[in-house]
Amino acid sequence: MDLQSIKNRFGIIGNSPALNHALNTAVQVAGTDLTVLIVGESGVGKEAFSQIIHALSARKHNPFIAVNCGAIPEGTIDSELFGHEKGAFTGAVDSRKGYFETVSGGTIFLDEIGEMPLGTQARLLRVLETGEFIRVGSSKVQKTDVRVIAATNRDLLEFTEKGRFREDLYYRLSTVPIRVPSLRDRKEDILLLFRKFVVDFAERYKTSPVQLDEEAKSLLINHGWQGNVRELKNIAEQISVLSSNPLITGAEMRRFLPDNQPNRLPVLAGQAAPSGEFANEREILYKLFFDMKKDVTELKKMFLEILQNPSLAGSAASFTRDSLMNDFHTNGNEIATAVAPSPIAPPVVSTQPAFLPVNNGSQPVLLHENDIHLHEEVEESLNIMDKEKELIIKALKKHKGKRKDASLDLGISERTLYRKLKEYDIDE
């Protein structure tokens, strides 16, 4: 059976290379019993691919069942999939067969596999490896012959790193991965799909199918389509029902297209940012640099006032090293920077030397104006790794070596803290 015949049979519209590649992979794997993992965003039609695989397989005359793992409560999913014995739990008044028992010889499609609880994942792994399962409340091992096709719109590898999905199950499921492209990645198919939907709705509601002008077509093609084909179908139905004009203009198309497209630009700390450990570490660094900038600005102002007003030098001499360092430590930073006078407001130069507090002892040191010009700027290291290491050491000292408390204070996970300790060779 050629690819176009398969598209006609299962109502698949489009000719994009990514879509054709996914369909070819499904056709090639259909004749085997290999486990398949279908990956794609919500609304791209992952279940249609599972039906294609089953319909073209040797199991096509046996049962096919689709199970949404995210829609079944955690407390009952084991019973739904593997069955239970009478009295196994409250409400179990009779024995019940699970899907793996009733669909034996056929195909089971596990949609949203990433939402499956870890305990159920262990049971599923045993089914995939040995074909064996045990009903809830039973000790009898039973056999089943079921082909498993799984689907997800999540990044399962990321889930494995966070401990939310078993790594061994991930590699067992993804024997043959099929990636279904999003609508954004097959823009050449958008107008074909829209035309198909509006024709279907026109037949249903006994009306004439709407037409699009060039601006409306451009808006349709360049829309974000976060809901993919499902969202496009909804928009087509709204336009078919609510539009009084058979020709849809760009202005009218904007009425139907949602304007709440996600912002894909980078954001600063304090605003809505991507979740995860990287975002937390980045926020820490942003805060560190902002605090450093504030301290440097205050130092500039203090030195400039002393240079412009020599009469302040006597009072400045009363500052000891400890009092100055306390100011520097207010935000957890140590800054020792001498800054030249601002070119915008030239200082009044005195012929007398001035007293300035310098971080080289407990007593103030006499500095001459020539010394200040010779040492205009001493830059502190702004290396991110040095500052990150410094923060980690301070957090460990603050919490007396307790990693858990230090990681919470830093806003990162304990595992990330452990990795950083190894990376920076920090002795606890």
Q: Which CATH class is domain 184-256?
A: mainly alpha
The answer regarding whether domain 384-423 maps to CATH 1.10.1760 reads: no
12/186 Cα distance (integer angstroms): 13
Q: In 3D, which of 107, 112, 119 has the Cα closest to residue 68?
A: 112
Strands 147-152 and 176-179: unpaired
385 vs 115, more confident: 115
Q: Return the structure tokens found at 138.
A: 């039973």
Residue that wins the pLDDT comparison between 395 and 185 = 185
What is the fold, at CATH topology level, of the domain defined by 3-181? Rossmann fold (3.40.50)
Residue pair 190/197 in contact by the 8 Å Cβ criterion: no
Q: What is residue 417's predicted lDDT score, i.e. its pLDDT?
A: 81
CA 82 to CA 428: how far, in whole Å?
A: 48
Buried-exposed string 80-109: b where 16+ CB fall within 10 A, e elsewhere? bbbbbbeebeeeeeeebebbbbebbebbbb
**Could you tell me the pLDDT band of residue 381, with boundaries at 50, 70 and 90?**
low
Cβ-count burial 125-153 (b if 16+ within 10 Å, e if not):
bebbeeeebbbbbbeeebebebbbbbbbb
| DSSP state letter for 183 | G
Q: Which residues contact 299 (CB under 8 A, 6 or more apart)?
A: 335, 337, 339
For residue 185, name the pLDDT band (cuts at 50, 70, 90): very high
Q: Averaged over 92-111, what is the pLDDT?
A: 94
- Of these ranges, 106-115, 200-209, 314-323, the one predicted with the greatest mean pLDDT is 106-115
pTM tops 0.85: no
**Reported confidence tier of residue 222, pLDDT bands at 50, 70, 90:** very high
Give the Cβ contact number of residue 329 at 10 Å. 12
Q: Report the C-alpha gap between 25 and 49 in whole angstroms.
A: 10
Residue 424 CB contacts under 8 Å (≥ 6 apart), including other chains: 385, 388, 389, 392
- Mark out the alpha helices in 243-368 (DSSP H runs): 250-256, 277-308, 313-316, 321-328
Q: Would the CATH topology of 184-256 be identical to that of 384-423? A: no
Rounded Cα gap, residues 411 and 18, in angstroms: 40
What average pLDDT is seen over the chain? 80
Return d(Cα 417, Cα 281) in angstroms, integer. Answer: 11
Domains of the chain, residue spans: 3-181, 184-256, 277-374, 384-423
